[in-house]
Structure 1
Amino acid sequence: MPLTLLAAAGVGVIWLVDISTGPDFGFAIFYLIPIGLVSWWLGRASSMLIALLSTAAWIWADLVARPSVALSASLWNGLTRAAIFLMLGLLIDQVRRERVALRSVDAHREESLALIAHTLRRSAGEIESAIPDLTRAPALSAAERRAIDELRRQSRNFKRFADDVLEVGQLEAGRFRLNRERFDLSEFVATLVKETDRERLQLVAESDPVWVDADPERLRTAIEHIFNNALRFSPPGSTVHVTVGQRENRARVLVKDQGVGLARSHIDVIFRKYGRIETAATRDKIGVGLGLYVSRLVVEAHRDLPLSSHQA
């Protein structure tokens, strides 16, 4: 109610200025300001009230400023402005309602994803715990061992997706703490290369250690996502080059693959939440667009440890 009264007072101020300046200056457009503000902040009912009040104020100002104009003409002009005022209020209120609805849908989606992520992580853990029993079975054929390896790989993919979904919420809200340690980034990345795909990832590192003060676990997540992204979008068997160094007293990791290629304008897209580039070459690739977004959030959390990624 106080905001409605404030908007009504604003209409009164505009009306006073309108009748004070005479017929040479039109002030009808300024009545849109309180209508728009009330519609956005208070909703449809209050905006309709202010729109009607603005219409009455404009007609009154028109009658005072232009007494020679016929009353019927002033009323007709007032009705046309009333239509404009009311339509503006309705449109802004509709935009506001849709914005609220979208935010509600987004919150529901995030809650659903978190529930799915918890379920996936639990299922992946159960699969991982069962794999050792399978590998101890006697006389496994080569096909059976490949199937077990694929099962292990898929369970890790499920766990990674679940971790990404749950970690995004923490990173976005800032509800986490970096457990910083001092370590050699070159040695750290070399270990990740061996664990990820030592056959396809080729590391080039400086001879001198690249010391950083960072959270190793979160940095591991960020770099692994970039490695896996480069491997996934490169031709099978192709080499992905990884370079570790420093420039201007900052740590630097460069990943260069032989993938499908990206336009410079796409770089910002793939580092957004759910950011994916849909092309004929990437449409069959599995992913929801969270990995590189997590990498970006982790790097931004470190701030003084910029990480550079490039997909050729």
Structure 2
Amino acid sequence: MTAPNRPESVDKSKIAELERKVSILSRLAETSAVLNSTMRLKPLLGSIMDTAAEIVDAEAASVLLWDYKKQELVFAATTTSDSYGQTLIGKQVPLEGSIAGTVMRENRIVMVDKVRDTIGHYSKIDEQISFQTRSVLGVPMRSRNRIIGVLEGVNKRQGAWTDDDGYYLSVLAAQAAVAIEGAQLVTQLQLANEELNQLDKLKSNFIAIASHELRTPLGVILGYASFLQDTVDPQVREHASKMVNSAMQLRRIIEDLTNLRYMEQSQLELNMEDVPLVDMLRELVGELQSLAEAKRHELSMTPPPFELRVRVDRIRMGMAIGNVLNNAIRFTPDGGRISVQVEQKPREVWIMVSDTGIGLAKDQLERIFERFYQIEDHMTRINGGLGIGLSIARAMVEAHGGRLWASSAGINQGSTFIIAIPTAPAKA
């Protein structure tokens, strides 16, 4: 009768092989955690290279990525050594006549134990960096059902490549492909964001310079046109009034652009003071009266029978209300009516600007406050504008802790814009 095998008789080589497999799987798990912990491409590639060389017992490893714009397979990373490292990055490898190209084209694992015996090796790379490639294991890197590149192990330290080597490297390649694509997307977004920031700075600088350069000549034009309004000749007065109205429109656009720049840069500061509301409204209506008369509008204000004071930045709030009034004048067909009413509400004062203009569809009631939004209408083409007046008005009102919204019965039914301003706290 044969005695059972003792533990000492178990094949030590099998134990060593199992230990190596456990070690490799642990290394892959660790690398997976690392790949999921960063979105920076350079550290990702470094971790992939180190793991690839270790798990297949290779002297070196490399990642080649497919450049979709140039339609080229290019070295993106390698393990570093005296002769095989950074000099390789950026070098192109042809799809035909290279091991990596075969992996890429045929979407399969390629094992070459003796490079000198194969005609598929691209030897020019070795010549360029003074390196001797003896053996190569290449696996495709797949992400979202497409191949993004090739992961290679180079120069097996002992023996030939095995199926296990191909399996382990493929597992790593699958993890690496997803991580690399994610990092590339983040990099692209960062570059795009930087470009947008640069464009935004250029835009802000342009607005600042243009606003500054336009203010002086505009002031001269307004002064001269206002002087001509006092002339005896009625025809000259009419032309002068048109000049004043046009210049006032341009001045309002310049002010809107300037305030838009300040709001984008969070530089808008409010100088709060107690302001008699009715006096401020009368002043605004008076300033826009000539613009309304030019379109034969009836612009009126119904003051409340009591005094109202609000704590606001007089200039900023005046600009907000002025933008709403100006919008009503522009988008009401000639011969219309624009009225301003004031109502006292609990903890708020409502300023209601109503017009007999083009009206608003239900889906436009909020969109009109979006920056640069313009209603597709012949009135827009006639009156022009940048589509930022109401956006700026709402931002200024909200900066005061107030609200601005619109209501309308529909297209061609006129509109009402309500500005709600918190009332000034009672003085002790």
The answer to whether the superposition gives a TM-score over 0.5 is: yes
One-letter amino acid matched to 2:243: L
Whole-Å Cα distance in 2 between the matches of residues 132 and 282 of structure 1?
27
Alignment equivalent of 1:53, drawn from 43, 47, 50: 47
**Aligned residue identity for 2:26:** I
1:86-105 → structure 2 map (5 Å cutoff): 86-105=180-199
Classify the secondary structure of the residue corresponding to 2:184.
helix
In terms of fraction of residues, the more helix-rich structure is 1
Gaps of 5+ in 2: 1-22, 58-161, 409-414, 416-428
Once residues 240 and 54 of structure 1 are traced to their aligned partners in structure 2, the CA distance between those partners, rounded to angstroms, is 70
Conserved in 1, the CA contact under 8 Å of 2:340 and 2:354? yes
Q: CA deviation at 1:265?
A: 4.4
Query: What is the aligned partner in structure 2 of residue 255 from structure 1?
Result: 353
Residue in structure 2 matched with residue 10 of structure 1 by the alignment = none
Preserved contact between residue 332 and residue 356 of structure 2 (Cα < 8 Å): yes
Counterpart position of 2:374? 277
Q: CA deviation at 1:160?
A: 1.7
Aligned Cα root-mean-square deviation (Å): 3.3
1:57 to 1:210, Cα distance in 2 relative to 1, 3 A: farther
1:134 aligns with 2:134: no
TM-score computed with the length of structure 1 as normaliser = 0.74
User: Letter of the aligned partner of 1:144 in structure 2?
Assistant: V
Q: Which has the larger share of strand?
A: 2
CA contact (8 A) 1:266 1:277 kept: no
Residue in structure 2 matching 1:124, options 200, 218, 236: 218
Per-residue deviation, residues 180-204 of structure 1 (Å, max 9, x unmatched) = 1242x23432442243237522334
Following the alignment from structure 1 to structure 2, what is the Cα–Cα distance between the partners of residues 91 and 236? 53
User: Which is worse superposed, 199-208 or 114-123?
Assistant: 199-208
Taking structure 1 as reference, are residues 61 and 238 closer, same or farther at Cα in structure 2, changes over 3 Å only? Answer: farther
Cα deviation for residue 211 of structure 1 reads 2.5
| Separation (CA, whole Å) in 2 of partners of 1:187 and 1:212 | 11
Q: Amino acid of the residue matched to residue 89 of structure 1?
A: A
Note the 1:27-106 alignment, pairs <5 A: 30-36=33-39, 38=40, 47-54=41-48, 57=51, 70-106=164-200
**CA spacing shift, 1:212–1:280, aligned 2, 3 Å:** closer
Contact 2:331–2:380 at 8 Å: present in 1 too? no
Residue-pair matches, total: 274
- Conserved? CA contact 1:226–1:309, under 8 Å: no
User: Cα gap change, 1:266/1:107 in structure 2, threshold over 3 Å: closer, same or farther?
Assistant: farther
- Measure, in 1, the Cα distance between the counterparts of 2:226 and 2:43: 71
Structure-2 change in CA distance of 1:27 and 1:235 (3 Å)? farther
Q: Is the 8 A contact 1:235 1:259 kept in 2?
A: yes
Provide the residue aligned with 1:174 in structure 2. Answer: 267
**Bigger RCO (CA 8 Å, 6+ sep):** 1
**Which of 274, 290, 293 is equivalent to 2:391?**
293
Specify which of 189, 192, 208 is matched with residue 281 of structure 2. Answer: 189
Residue equivalent to 1:114: 208
The alpha-carbon deviation at position 250 of structure 1 amounts to 0.7
Secondary structure, in 3 states, of the residue corresponding to 2:170?
helix
Distance 1:308 1:91 in 2: 39
CA 1:133–1:253 in structure 2 vs 1: closer, same or farther (change >3 Å)?
A: closer
1:298 to partner: Cα distance:
2.1
1:157 Cα deviation after fit: 1.6
- Using a 3 Å threshold, how does the CA distance of structure 1 residues 229 and 240 change in structure 2: closer, same or farther? same
SS in 1 for 2:343: strand
Contact 2:207 2:261 in 1 (8 A): no
Contact 1:240 1:256 in 2 (8 A): yes
Displacement of 1:245 in angstroms is: 0.9
CA contact (8 A) 2:368 2:375 kept: no
Q: 1:133 to 1:209 in 2, by over 3 A?
A: closer
Which shows bigger deviation, 54-63 or 97-106? Answer: 54-63
Equivalent residue for 2:344, pick from 246, 251, 268: 246
The one-letter code matched in structure 2 to 1:256 is S
Determine if contact 1:252/1:306 at 8 Å carries over to the other structure. Answer: no
Percentage identity across aligned positions?
Answer: 21
Q: Tell me, in whole angstroms, the C-alpha distance in 2 between the residues paired with 1:265 and 1:54.
A: 52
Query: Is the contact made by 2:228 and 2:237 (CA closer than 8 Å) also made in structure 1?
Result: no
Q: Give distance in 2, aligned partners of 1:264 and 1:100.
A: 38
Task: Report the residue type matching 1:101 in the other structure.
Answer: E
**Structure 2 matches for 1:145-184, cutoff 5 A?**
145-172=237-264, 173-183=266-276
Runs of 5+ consecutive residues of structure 1 not aligned to the other structure: 1-15, 39-46
Per the alignment, do residues 69 and 202 of structure 1 end up closer, same or farther by CA in structure 2, a change over 3 Å counting? Answer: farther
2:109 aligned residue: none
With normalisation by structure 2, the TM-score equals: 0.56
* Equivalent position amino acid for 2:165 in 1: L
